[in-house]
Chains A and B, each alone.
Chain A
Amino acid sequence: MGNGANSGGRTRNVVFRIKRCDGPGKPSRWEAFRVPVEPNANVISCLNWIAAHPVTMDGRPTTPVVWDSNCLEEVCGACTMVINGRVRQSCSCLIDEYAPNDGDTITLEPMSKFPVVRDLWVDRQRLFEGLKKVKAWAPIDGTYSLGDGPRESPAQQHVRYALSTCMSCGCCLEACPQYLKEEDASKWDTAFVGAAIISQARLFNEHPTGAILKDDRLDALLGVGGINDCGNAQNCVRVCPKDIPLTESIAAIGRAATIHGFKRFFRGA
């Protein structure tokens, strides 16, 4: 609804400087676009405008900018990019906040820690591989009717719910000085998994059924690229759009790893 509601009075323009790249291995370039600002505009609505009017500021026709997005409500995590030097979701990035005046500039870049597919679209598959690595699931006995799940206190639910709102957007990884771009998928296993994955490991360790795989998760996180690669810069928790207590997860997994490490040392695995 309200399609026609915003048609009135386009007065203000914003300049978008966008770092573009035609594909893997291709050079990057900057292009600038002048975009009229609608009321309640966000970066997405401006990118939509550019898609429909792919002409640069100096009047040169170009291709529409490619970017990844889906829900536009900051719950799917797709539209993450680097805006004015900081990583965030572009859907919740309001123009009135970022560029309040006529002619203000907003810069858009793809996330730097993931291989670029094209323009602002990056390949975050490594993140999902990380979820496999730590077996981020509850190992249930199939989908048959086997009664309800374990009971849980409201306090415990609060802890798990906060962790479970992670939408795998990758902000924490983009801002992490220990998380580096790795194009070679065969090296993902020993490259740092990052805060999101560590936090998911904690999420499932906190669940009675999930905890059955706790040792497996800790074993996976004790190796190279695991919990010990964290450098405690704590940027992750600062840039997390969902305010997930990532550093608490890291410390909690640190504690579990301490105990697990001792156990393993003395038991001799």
Chain B
Amino acid sequence: MTSTNQRVIIVGGGLAGLAAAIRVAEAGLPVDLFSMVPVKRSHSVCAQGGINACNEVARQQGYSEYQHFDETIYGGDFLADQGPVLEMANWAPKIIDLLDRMGVPFNRTAEGRRDLRLFGGSLFKRTHFSGATTGQQLLYALDEQVRRFEAEGKVSKYEFWEFLRPILVGQGDQRRCVGIVAQDMRTMQIRPFRADAVVMATGGCGLIFGKSTNSVICTGGAASRCYQAGAWYGNAEMIQVHPTAIPGADKCRLMSESARGEGGRVWVPRKKGDTRRPKDIPENERWYFLEERYPAYGNLVPRDIATREIFDVCVNEGMGIDGQNMVYLDLTHKDPDYLTEKLGGIMEIYEKFVGVDPRYEPMKIFPSVHYSMGGLWTTFTPGAYQPAEPAGKHEPGMIPPVGTEVGQGMAYGAPNNMMTNIAGLYAFGEVNFAYHGATRLGANALLSCIFDGLFNGVSVVNYVREGVPSTQPAESLEAACFDEASSAEQAKYDGLLATVGTNERDEKFNPYVIAREMGEEMTAASTVVKTGPRLEQCLAKLAELRERYARVQLSDSAGWTNQSLSFARAVGDMLILAEVIAKAGLLREESRGSHKRLDFPDRDDERFGKASVAEFDPATGEHRIFWRDVQTNLVKPRPRTYGKVESDQKGKQEPVGSAG
């Protein structure tokens, strides 16, 4: 039995949220879409390089969906559950086709087919792209489709509404999510919304690190609020630091991996403190350290590796440009018109924000926090492919052990796919911890976000139509639980407002100062390289900040569009998530993917071939971290080296299948 008034709430209007909205609305369920910004301005617009999918050209050169899967698992250092990743890689070509039908202006070949480029972690051209603003283009395509549903009355948008908490009913096995409390960021009205399922598609948490490549709404606040309400948070310590970004005063701006995919070379002068202009430094006096150390992949090693090498060259060896933390990313050997055609978007960003034309002058870049592989913990129903023995490394040209039929990796439509530990509460996109393990490969983020929305949107529909909500729809529940949740948020809001003008303004309790100190501490302690003692120090600092936050002072008592209140409220939630990130990093005593512990330099599959899962104790405000097995029965874990050689070896292999 299906109630006619069942609804689904989607929080977040980036790629994952919009894809989910399309899928759910298409199935005939009304959608309420919440976003802190007009959905067209979501952070997905910042994605530049492209979206990965096996394609005919690569296939005929020996590539396959299965190899895409293998690369993703290998790139993620065997920390991701393998079934969902297999399903995602299998679905990728369909997603590209769908986006193509929606009118995404993918770059084209002379024959009018979709063009492809090389990207990190692969030796095949398998990345589809639209200039260097692929994320923007994909987001717009989905935004347009959602607008179509909106015009038809099937989707209601709540833009400039901030998610405050999920509303839960029941205890133990009966616990489920039946709505959310949200606040209008203009009128400051706080109210509950009922829903039979809630999809969190709220993206990453880069702002915890102060300056990152993330947008200003990427505080992780929404994820933290779910976590505090009882949702588990997985692999928090897995934070991707992108190797190439432009440091700025307000944020670090991404210089897409596609710059290297299109031939960009990373180097520093061989001579320490060489003050010559880059053009005046002859070829043999340049140190192309990535190409030297990784002959096979060269500049296209995965991000964590490139980041650590750049960090090593600058911080440990002091070889950065002018002794600063900068290296060159050089495209000046390429034709300027070619660069405009393929990379126009990022060329423009560099030109606008640095004032130098990267077509003629090498860019100066440094790593920056970019993506959170970790996120709300989610589960899934495994698919049909269950080999007797996990497969070994998949070499180009090998016949894949499994086909691309739907449901091989993850059961299509299973209601629990990408559901958190709270029934009815789903996590899609970056806020979902699945798919990327310990490092995300470039151009897999757009894929995972859209895949989540499209593939698992069906799971949401099935849960609403066939699960508990079909017999106990949210609209039939007593109003009390909704009002209670709403009142709690109202009280919190009133409490924050009441801090205005209570005392002399003190910098220590200024939310912006607290946020800045948190960012600096987290960046220093918990990014490229970590150690146990430093993380413990970080946790102590975070504890201090939390104490100071308890006495936070606001400077705006307005009951209308109170932006600083919204920020201050998020800072409290960010501090909690920061603790999870640091604590999980401290407990994971190994190095894996983006998580590099200097005191535990090797991967330890025995103890930590597992996902870290954090659970919040509302009574004490403490975090309980436990470890859950990862599905590894499809591919056997193997060392992740990307063919690193010692620095005395020379010679670079041509990438396989770079034609086309």
Contact = CB atoms under 8 A, between A and B. Distances in A.
Judged by CB atoms under 8 Å, the answer to whether A and B touch is yes
Nearest to A91: B250
Nearest to A89: B352
B113 interface: yes
B549 to A, nearest CB: 15
Nearest to A159: B105
Given A40-B249, A94-B353, A149-B100, A78 B22 contact: no
Contact of A64 (B102, B345, B520, B563): B563
A1 B45 contact: no
Nearest to B114: A148
Contacts, number: 238
B510 A52 contact: yes
Interface in B66-108: 94, 96-103, 105-108
B59 interface: no
A72 interface: yes
B140 to A, nearest CB: 6
Given A140-B102, A142-B26, A73 B561 contact: no
B477 interface: no
B458 to A, nearest CB: 10
A135 B555 CA distance: 44
Interface in B176-191: 186
Contact of B101 (A73, A148, A164): A148
B112 A3 contact: no
Contacts of B250: 41-42, 44-45, 48, 72, 91
Contact of B136 (A146, A156, A165): A165
Given A64-B556, A149-B101, A153-B108, A70 B216 contact: yes
Given A70-B215, A71-B215, A73-B349, A61 B555 contact: yes
A235 interface: no
B512 A52 contact: yes
- Determine the main DSSP class of B at the interface with A: mixed
Contact of A3 (B140, B345, B523): B523
A117 interface: yes
B561 A51 contact: no
Interface stretch (A98-106, A203-211, A220-228): A203-211
A145 interface: yes
Interface in B237-290: 241, 245, 247-254
Interface in B135-193: 136-137, 140, 144-145, 147-148, 150-151, 186
B249 A45 contact: yes
Contacts of B217: 70
Interface residues of B, number: 90
Interface string A61-75: 101101111111111
B101 A146 contact: yes
Most B C-beta atoms less than 10 A away, residue of A5, A72, A147? A72
Contacts of B107: 154, 157, 161
A137 B210 CA distance: 37
A23 B345 CA distance: 36
Contact of A149 (B103, B523, B556): B103
A64 B108 contact: no
Given A5-B325, A64-B563, A138 B102 contact: yes
B40 A210 contact: no
B369 interface: yes
A254 interface: no
Interface in B496-527: 505, 510, 512-513, 516, 519-520, 523-524, 527
Most A C-beta atoms less than 10 A away, residue of B94, B96, B99, B527? B94
Interface in A120-168: 121, 123-124, 128, 131-132, 135-140, 142-143, 145-149, 151-154, 156-157, 160-161, 164-165, 167-168
Given A5-B247, A132-B147, A124 B101 contact: no
B416 interface: no
A51 B40 contact: no
Contacts of B523: 1, 3
A3 B520 contact: yes
A148 B98 CA distance: 7
Contacts of B26: 142-143
A190 interface: no
B520 A76 contact: no
A164 B141 CA distance: 9
Interface in A3-41: 3-6, 22-23, 38-41
B545 to A, nearest CB: 15
A136 to B, nearest CB: 6
Contact of A61 (B46, B505, B561): B505
B133 A152 contact: no
Contact of A143 (B23, B355, B505): B23
20 contacts: A2-B211, A38-B249, A40-B353, A51-B563, A63-B557, A63-B564, A64-B563, A72-B250, A73-B353, A74-B352, A75-B136, A75-B345, A78-B37, A139-B148, A146-B97, A149-B99, A149-B102, A152-B112, A154-B108, A165-B131
Closest 9 pairs (CB-CB, A-B): A149-B100, A52-B512, A137-B144, A151-B112, A45-B249, A118-B561, A2-B247, A45-B250, A63-B556
Given A45-B250, A165-B133, 5 more contacts: A40-B248, A128-B38, A132-B150, A161-B105, A165-B131
